[in-house]
Every structure is written in structure tokens, then in C-alpha cells.
Structure 1
Amino acid sequence: METQVSLHDGKAVMKLAGRFDFNAHREYREALERLSALPENSDFVVDLAEVSYLDSSALGMLLLLRDRARHANKSVTLSGVKGTVRQVLEIANFSKMFAITE
């Protein structure tokens, strides 16, 4: 998996690409640390537009970000969600825990 972290319109954005699964754990953790180190921002955005696959361990990694954001009084939006990634998130009821956009 490839990760990019940036600021965009006052939001900390983590862009992910490729397979988001257990093997991506280290890359995700490193991106999460870079995301948290960005200057003050209002919210977090995880751009999943280029993610081709995600599994249950990826769901757990997203929950780590949600917990970190909650402690900082920030929200998390999952953006670029489509196809099988959307289906997995819907089955896991992630729409109840995250704002999800296409």
C-alpha cells in the first residue's frame, strides 16, 4: 500500500492506494504518525479512492484513527469510497461511525 499525508483546506488528509490489509499495518501506522504531527487542523480525511481492497484488519486500523481523532475532538471522513470498498464499509456499519463520501 502507498500512503501520502498532506494538509488540504485545513484538513489533515491521508491518501491510501493499493491493498489495505494486514500487510499494510506498518505503512499505515507511519502515515498515522505523520498525520498526527501536522500543524493544527480541524478534521481528518482518509482518501480511499485508490484503495482496491480492504479487509477486517484495515477496518481495525481505521478505528485506531477514529479513536485518536475522538480524543482530539476531531472528526474523520472516509472519502472516495466506492465499489467493493464501499460494500465492506457498509457491511461493517462504518457509516454509523464515520462520515463517508464518494
Structure 2
Amino acid sequence: MSERAVVVLPVRFDYGYHKEFQKQCASCIDNPAINEIVFDFGRVDYLDSAALGMMMMWQRRASAANKKMYIKGAKGATAQILDMANMQRIFEYLT
């Protein structure tokens, strides 16, 4: 049975959110009961390259821990930025 954790991202997803993002991701990856992690972009209006880099770093760590990461709820400019960064090649998208 798969346990899914959801990381709800802030309106402004940038380096200023680094510590909280790191705390949440580490908690999910360190928890042996969790094997799926969802990045919920439902509230995100802004993200920058630092956010994309943080996502990539944690995706590599999750993969090494045999955990799967997903993106859900991205819309508007946020969805366009994720598409331009080819995140659909790395993360599965949930509807």
C-alpha cells in the first residue's frame, strides 16, 4: 500500500522558502511509510530558478530512496514555467 505525502507550496515559491521546503521534503523522504510525494502548486503564483533547482535536488534524493514525486495543481504562468523547464520529463503530473 502506498502512502502519499503532500507538500503544499506557498504563493511565492522561491529561495526564501528554502528552509521550510527542505524540512518538509526531508521529513517525507526519511519516513519509510511514505513512498509518494506530491508538490501541490495550487496556490503558487510565482516560482523562480531556485525553486526549480530545489525541486530537482529533492527529486534525485527521492529517486535514490525509491520514492516517486508528482506535481499537481500548476496553472497559468506557473504551469508555463514548469513546461519550459521540461519538468514533465522528470515528474508525473496529477490532475
Measured against the shorter chain, the TM-score band is 0.7 to 0.9
Taking every aligned residue pair, what percent have the same amino acid on both sides? 35
Residue 69 of structure 1 aligns with an amino acid whose one-letter code is A
- Kindly report structure 1 stretches of 4+ aligned residues shifted beyond 6 Å: none
- Deviations 1:23-63 (Å, cap 9, x if unpaired)? 11112112222223435122111111111110000000111
Label 1:49 to 1:90 Cα distance change in 2 as closer, same or farther (>3 A): same
Aligned to 1:6: none
Structure 1: runs of 5+ lacking an equivalent: 1-8
Higher RCO (C-alpha 8 Å, min separation 6):
2
Q: Distance in 1 between matches of 2:89 and 2:82?
A: 10
Aligned length: 94
**Match among 10, 19, 23 for residue 3 of structure 2:** 10
Structure 2: runs of 5+ lacking an equivalent: none
Write out aligned runs for 1:25-40 (5 A).
25-40=18-33
Aligned to 2:78: 85
